[in-house]
Amino acid sequence: MSVVNTVLLILTLFFALIALYQYKLIKDFNKSQELMEKIKEKLYQTSEKVLMTENEDEIYSIVLNTAVDLIPNGTNGSILVMDEDENFHFKVVRGFHEDLHDLVLKKEEVYLNSVNKFKETAIIENPRKFDEVNTNAETINELRKRDALNIYCTISAPIYIDNKLIGLLNVDSSKPECRFTKKELNLMNLIKSELQIALKNAFAQNKLKYLANFDELTGVMNRRRFNKEFSIEMEKIKQEGKEFSLVMIDVDEFKAINDTYGHNFGDKVLKCFSSLIKSYISETDIIARLSGDEFVILFRNCIGDMAKERMDKITDIISSKKINGINISFSHGICEVRDFDNITAEEAIVLADTKMYSCKRSKRI
């Protein structure tokens, strides 16, 4: 073979190798693009699910399942939520016993705190060893009893909403041969970023839904929600012969309390007042804040002496409590509503309101 033919053969092989390498690059790129499209589609579906869900635990479960499903070799996972004392609680888990929810980790026992103060996602190559060294003996025993230490590698990501740390997202692998790499870490960061946006939107949306139905200060129903529930109860009277008592309530001398001690103290009075009442009515009853210091209670299947006895008990409880050394009292009026009374919702409210103001006037005599 001549030198020229040899050179041509070498060049042909060289360019063939280049073409083959380029083909592999293009193939890997296309495969990577297809994977990214699948990931984006999965994250989009997750965001849609999260926005349609009101229950907080379900929202976190959707987020966790998405992360575990998308991270190669991910088998288990957990989301821990940080409380006001900076302790971490297991909110949702996958692949672990549900009673992990009972455990609490101190901030100092969390891996991300020790390696980067929760600044970024990190790989824990031997999570069991870290836990055994950094977690107190009692917690380790509890984790061991729940088979929660049988993991060989973990990717842990901090969850931030509005620049505030709210918790941790962990994806674990129970495969002995598994070692997460930079590739999985980058994927986790992509997933985390998208899921943080979904969580933020869901929480904002659910807060709006909450505020549409509940009073932000006291946490009891607001007027809008109560009117809806009241209409339902009125309909039940007609159709099912149900009965209930409607109680209108007004805190005595509330304006004087605000003027004397300030509006912050007035807010505290309303919160404590509504909380006390809520703790002494049954779960089937309703309490709502209508406006200012005006509240309403709806006692289901309760009329006559029974309703009066309940209100007498609540009156005794309120009068026995002091808020910053101040005694609080209230006036109330009861209207019984039965199927044969032929009374409208508006008439029932006016009647209870009239009795309440009559009670208030009698205290001034």
**pLDDT tens-digit series, residues 183-208:** 999 989 988 888 888 888 888 888 88
What digits encode the pLDDT tens for the residues 225-246? 999 999 988 888 888 877 889 9
Q: Which helix (H) or strand (E) holds 90?
A: strand 88-94
pTM passes above 0.85: no
What digits encode the pLDDT tens for the residues 305-329? 889 999 999 999 998 888 878 889 9
pLDDT at 32 over 70: no
CATH-assigned architecture of domain 221-364: 2-Layer Sandwich (3.30)
Find all residues with CB under 8 Å of 108, minimum gap 6, and list them: 114, 134
Pick the CATH number of 32-211 from 2.60.120.680, 3.30.70.360, 2.60.40.1120, 3.30.450.40: 3.30.450.40
CA distance 81 to 40: 26
Residues 101, 61: contact at Cβ < 8 Å?
no
According to DSSP, residue 107 is labeled G
Structure confidence at residue 60 (pLDDT): 87
- What is the strand order of the sheet 221-222 is part of? 221-222, 286-291, 294-300, 244-251, 330-337
Q: Would you call 133 exposed, middle or buried from its count of C-beta atoms within 10 A (0-12, 13-18, 19+)?
A: exposed
CATH 3.30.450.40-classified regions of the chain: 32-211
Band of residue 1 on the pLDDT scale cut at 50, 70, 90 = low
What digits encode the pLDDT tens for the residues 134-179? 888 888 888 888 888 889 999 999 999 999 999 999 999 999 988 9
pLDDT at 29 over 50: no
Q: Mean pLDDT, the chain, as a whole number?
A: 86
pLDDT at 27 over 80: no
pLDDT at 7 over 70: no
CATH 3.30.70.270-classified regions of the chain: 221-364
Q: In DSSP terms, which residues pair with 80 in a beta bridge?
A: 90, 168
Structure confidence at residue 30 (pLDDT): 47
Q: How many CB atoms lie within 10 A of CB 220?
A: 22
Strand 286-291 relative to strand 221-222: parallel, antiparallel, unpaired?
parallel
DSSP 208-238: HHHHHHB-TTT-SEEHHHHHHHHHHHHHHHH
